[in-house]
Chains A and B, each alone.
Chain A
């Protein structure tokens, strides 16, 4: 303890806005810390006093079930005080601007703002204007860093390393924030990433992020060690990106039949909520290859790690 004279704060940024630009040693620190946090979740008393006195607001401008529950649990496990804000029935419905809402909440002396918003860049906008620590819980189609960190924690637990690991991400690449955070994190850690989806849901020039692109699920299954299957947002069909969900399932659905052709057994991830029978066959989701529920557990541990590390000296105090 007395030998720890490092001048740098726990993480080089006081906020977690995305995984873009987060160096490998910091990702490793977050994942290592999360491993230690996970042990707490198995205890009879699932609580440590670490963030006693720290107040966190969960500012959710967009609906979310699991991310919000996961953040709330992480905050409670660390003994932080938390307040919840959701768009419906709040001052936002009365026409208050985003910044006014945030400033008002900050004026109540909160230390950490966890924000989910439908527009990309909102966490950055708040981080530039508030004195609180800002954690991005998903901003539009931009980033969802804690989701990618929990995916990576699950991958590391399964494979033990990232170097040369082949991860294929399947689905609506264009509209997915989970993909962007995963690409940044996985590439930084030395993994290889392949994006798979229909051309209508694949952004242009995405190869510039050092990823492979494919429109053939079977090719991806033959190539990958792990498959991260994204939720197909059902409203995409209405917007004309897809002819039908049934056709999507026929061309890109991950099925046992397709997986059986792979040279090795793949590990299946899904950020949830699943559309069984659309992007993933029920039997796959419930198979031994699926680590989907493990991801959910790891999500709480990763969020505890992020909250704790950002509350280290250069962060809150």
Chain B
């Protein structure tokens, strides 16, 4: 599948502002950092969680523990969809029990990844509470899951996709709305 960029929803500054707001909201709604912990979902959620951790430190002056979660082994579609499953490392070095966990991902779509992440987190311990923070909500939920903190609400059609690009992995910070195109027509800005 080939994709073409339809719109740039945020540039580096835009991403920074959105993340700053999310960090403030997380601190406000949790009344501080008590028992707070961030868990980034592989792959881009990990970098977003890192950024939030730094921002929270700048704002509140305290360190929150953070970890990395890979949900491939918990997915309901791994035997249907994944031609070449890439299981990445899960690394959560703190005790999950009694923690107030903020699960962080780049884009929420069907909600199935979050469902898998919730199962994975439950297997690691009994968190006091789990909240969900996403940079983009593009709609089309297939499960009754709703994020607690949303960077941008982006209504999309099924032929569109939202691409979050992070400096650490993609060389720049941006949020792009891309659209599937027929291979034969139009220039290609972003490839799938």
Q: Chain A: residues with CB nearer than 8 A to chain B?
A: 1-10, 29, 32-33, 35-37, 39-40, 43-45, 47-50, 78, 305, 308-309, 311-314, 316-317
Contact = CB atoms under 8 A, between A and B. Distances in A.
A50 B84 contact: no
Contact of A29 (B81, B84, B123): B84
B167 to A, nearest CB: 18
B114 to A, nearest CB: 12
Nearest to B95: A44
Nearest to A25: B84
Nearest to A36: B87
Nearest to A48: B73
Interface in B83-126: 83-91, 109, 113, 119-120, 123-125
A6 B83 contact: yes
Interface in B54-100: 70, 72-74, 78-91
B90 A36 contact: yes
Given A33-B87, A36-B88, A47 B123 contact: yes
Contact of B83 (A4, A43, A45, A48): A4
B112 to A, nearest CB: 9
Interface string B153-192: 0000000010000000000000000000000000000001
Contacts of B113: 1
Contacts of A314: 83
Nearest to A53: B79
Contacts of B123: 43, 45, 47-48
B83 A7 contact: yes
- Kindly state the interface size class of chain B when it binds its partner: 20 to 34
Pairs of residues from A and B, 9 with the lowest C-beta to C-beta distance, nearest first: A36-B87, A48-B73, A50-B73, A6-B83, A45-B123, A6-B84, A33-B87, A10-B84, A36-B89
Contacts of A48: 73-74, 120, 123
B78 A312 contact: yes
Contacts of B120: 48
A3 B192 contact: yes
Contacts of B80: 313, 317
Contacts of A45: 123-124
B74 A312 contact: no
A48 B119 CA distance: 9
Given A9-B83, A78-B73, A313-B83, 16 more contacts: A2-B161, A4-B82, A4-B83, A6-B83, A6-B84, A33-B86, A33-B87, A36-B90, A43-B123, A48-B120, A48-B123, A49-B74, A308-B85, A309-B85, A312-B82, A317-B79
